[in-house]
Amino acid sequence: MAAKLLQINFKFNVTGAEYKQMADQLAAPFAEVEGLRWKIWILNEAASEAGGIYLFEDEAALSSFLAGPLAAQVSSHPALSEMSAKPFDVIAGPTAAARGPV
């Protein structure tokens, strides 16, 4: 099965330091997500925007995550808004040529 990439972006209404503390607390639960190979946490503090880039083993793992309790916890958090979740296919050849970690 083909790996699937997920891009999640959202706005946050806390300080950058508070957001980073929230991320630190959620890192371990994300590490336990079945089928998640890795997650890169992203932050644009000046724009109060953050999110993540995720690589899942396959479509089933990605779908299970989006339907699960951790995604629900994040999407319903009162400090976060304007959330978008966009799944993508990985184009293996050029990604490997450019040293993409897939």
Write down the pLDDT at residue 101.
Answer: 85
Write down the pLDDT at residue 102.
Answer: 79
| Cβ(11)–Cβ(51) below 8 Å | no
Write down the pLDDT at residue 39.
Answer: 97
pLDDT, one tens digit for every residue, the chain (102 residues): 689 999 999 999 999 999 999 999 999 999 999 999 999 999 999 999 999 999 999 999 999 999 999 999 999 999 999 999 999 999 989 999 999 987
How many other CB atoms are there within 10 angstroms of residue 38's CB atom?
13
- Which residue in 56, 76, 52 sits closest to 65, CA to CA? 56
Which single residue is written with the structure tokens 């880039």?
53
Q: What is the pTM of this model?
A: 0.91
| Cβ(61)–Cβ(1) below 8 Å | no
Q: Which tokens is 89 given?
A: 């296919």
Residues facing residue 12 across a β-bridge: 80
